[in-house]
Amino acid sequence: MIRKRTVSTAGLGVGLLTALAGLAAFVPIQASADDPIQVGAPIPLTGPLASDGEVMRQGIRLAVQDLNEQGGLLGRELEITEYDIGDLTPDKLQSAASNLIERRNVDVLINGYGAMGPDIPAFCPYDQPYIHNAATPNVTDMMERMNCSNIFMATDLGGAFGRIAFDQMLEMGHDFDNNRIVILHGPYDWELDKAEGIAFSAREAGWDVAMTEEVSYGTSEWGGILSRIRGHDPALVVIELLDPDAVWRFVSQLRDDPPANALVYTGYTGSMPAFGEFASGGDADGVLGMTLSAHDPDSQEGQAFMESWREAYGEDPPYSIAAQIYDHVMIWANAVEEVGDVRDFDAINRTIHESEYEGLTGSFAFNEYRYVYAGSDLPPYLLQIQDSEVRMLMRNAEQLRDAVGSSWLD
C-alpha cells in the first residue's frame, strides 16, 4: 500500500504549493515478493540537460546491471522505470511522482538533480527514499519545514562548491593579470548559490567583483553582455548556467573578441557531455569547469568502473555525474541489504542517514540536514579543456596536472 505523509506547507511559495496540488488518483501496481525490485529514475532526457540526463540513465543502468549480475538485491532482480522530467518544471516533477510512485509503485527514486526545489514537494510526501545531488539552502530549509525524512542529497551545498572552486583556481598555478572577476549566473537556486560562493571567496581574497548578472536559458546572442564584460577588463569570467548550448555560444562569442588575458570558468556545465562535444572541435583550450565528485581514474576501483562503462557504452564515463549516480544506487542498495526488506522504507531511510558509505567518488556521511560535506573525503574536481579534451586539473586541493592558458590569450 502507498503511504503518503501529511506535510506542512507553511511558508512555501505559491509555485511550490501548486506543485503539491492535484496528486493524481492512480491505482498502483501491487508487487509480490517474487517481482523485480523497481528503481524509479526521474531524469531529464529532453531539454537543455538531456546530455547529462543520458549519463544519469547510463549510470543507473550500469549499477542495476552490476547488482543483477551479483544475484540481485535480497535475491530479487532489479528493474528500472524512467520518467522524463525535461526542463525540471514543478509540473514535470509532480507528474514524475504520480507516475513512478502512485502508479508504478517504485521502491526508490534516483536522479542526479531534480530542479533544486520543486522535487522536494513532489517526493517528500512519500516514504520511498529519494537520492539526488542538488543541495541548496533553500532546499534544506524546505526539507526541514516539510519534515522530509526520505530525501538525501549526496553532495554539499552549491555555495560550498563555489568557494572551493575559486580557491582551486587561485592555487592551480595560473598568473592572473589582475584581481577583477565578472560573474554570470542562471535563475536556479543552485546557480545563484554557487555564484554567491565564488563571489564570497573572491572578496575574501581581495578581488573586485566587478559585475554580477542573471542570464537566461536559451540565450544565443551575448553581444550586449560581452560588451559590458569587456568594459571591466576582468582576469576571470564565471558563467554558472546549466545550459551547455548557451554556455558554448557564450564562450565562442567571447573567444572572437576576448577581454585581454581573461580565463573563463563554466562551472558544472564544463563537465557535461554536450559541452565536451563542443570543446572537441578545438579553440577552447584553457576553459575551466568543475564536477562535484568523480571516479578516480588512478585508483583500482576507478579503473574497474571505467572498464565496465567502456564495455557497456563504448566510451569513457563523463566526469559530470556518471560515477556519482552509480554511487546513489549503491548507497540505497547497501541500506536495503542491511535492513533486509526493500519496502521497510522507514528503516532504509534511517540506515542511509546513519551509515557511512564508501563509494567510487568518496565517502558519504549524511549530516543532520541530509546532505554531505565536500572535501578530502568526497573531493570536488576542477576541470580544464586541454588538447580539445576535458581533463582533471585539481582534486580538492591536490594538483593533478599543470594548468594552461586559454587558447585566445596573448
pLDDT values of the chain reduced to their tens digit, one per residue, 410 residues: 344 554 444 444 544 444 444 443 444 555 556 799 999 999 999 999 999 999 999 999 999 999 999 999 999 999 999 999 999 999 999 999 999 999 999 999 999 987 678 899 999 999 999 999 988 899 999 999 999 999 999 999 999 999 999 999 999 999 999 999 999 999 989 999 999 999 999 999 999 999 999 999 999 999 999 999 999 999 999 999 999 999 999 999 998 888 878 999 999 999 999 998 988 887 789 999 999 999 999 999 999 999 999 999 999 999 999 999 999 999 999 999 999 999 999 999 999 999 999 999 999 999 999 999 999 999 999 999 999 999 999 999 999 999 998 766 64
Clarify whether residues 73 and 221 are in a common domain: no
Q: Are residues 394 and 249 in the same domain?
A: yes
Number of separate domains in the chain: 2
Considering the domain architecture, whether residues 153 and 168 belong to the same structural domain is answered as no
Residue 213 lies in a domain: yes
In a domain, 409, yes or no: no
Q: Is residue 372, in this structure, part of any structural domain at all?
A: no
6 within domain boundaries: no
Tell me how far apart the alpha carbons of residues 48 and 133 are, in angstroms, rounded to a whole number. 18
Same domain, 106 and 153: yes
Angle at 187 between CA 192 and CA 194, to 5 degrees: 20
Residues 242 and 383 placed together within one structural domain of the fold: yes
Asked whether residue 331 is domain-assigned, the answer is yes
Residue 112 vs residues 53, 237, 274, 293: alpha-carbon distances, Å: 8, 26, 16, 12
User: What does the alpha-carbon distance between residue 257 and residue 192 come to, in Å, rounded to a whole number?
Assistant: 27
Instruction: Provide the grid cell at 107.
Output: 521502491
- Among 396, 310, 280, 342, residue whose Cα is nearest residue 39: 342
Answer yes or no: do 151 and 272 share one domain: no
The predicted pLDDT at position 100 comes to: 98
90 and 132 in a single domain? The answer is yes
Helices (H), 205-299: 223-232, 244-256, 273-279
- Terminal-to-terminal C-alpha distance of the chain: 66
Whether residues 208 and 275 share a domain: the answer is yes
Residues 198 and 333 placed together within one structural domain of the fold: no
Q: Are residues 123 and 217 in the same domain?
A: no
- Domain of 91? 14-157+299-365
Q: What is the phi/psi pair of residue 182, to 5°?
A: -115, 135
Considering the domain boundaries, does residue 83 fall inside one?
yes
Residue 95 CA to residue 270 CA, distance in Å, equals: 30
* Whole-number Å distance between alpha carbons of 144 and 137: 11
The C-alpha cell at 273 is 557531455
User: What's 235's domain CATH number?
Assistant: 3.40.50.2300
Is 405 a domain residue?
Answer: no
DSSP-derived letter for residue 375 is: S
Residue 3 lies inside a defined structural domain of this protein: no
Q: Are 197 and 283 members of one domain? A: yes
Q: How many residues does the chain have?
A: 410
* Same domain? 342 vs 193: no
Q: What is the DSSP string of 305-325?
A: HHHHHHHHHSSPPPTTTHHHH
* Predicted local distance difference test score (pLDDT) of residue 291: 96
The answer to whether the pTM exceeds 0.85 is yes
| Closest to 119 in 3D by CA, of 325, 290, 101 | 101
Question: What three-state secondary structure class fits 240?
Answer: strand
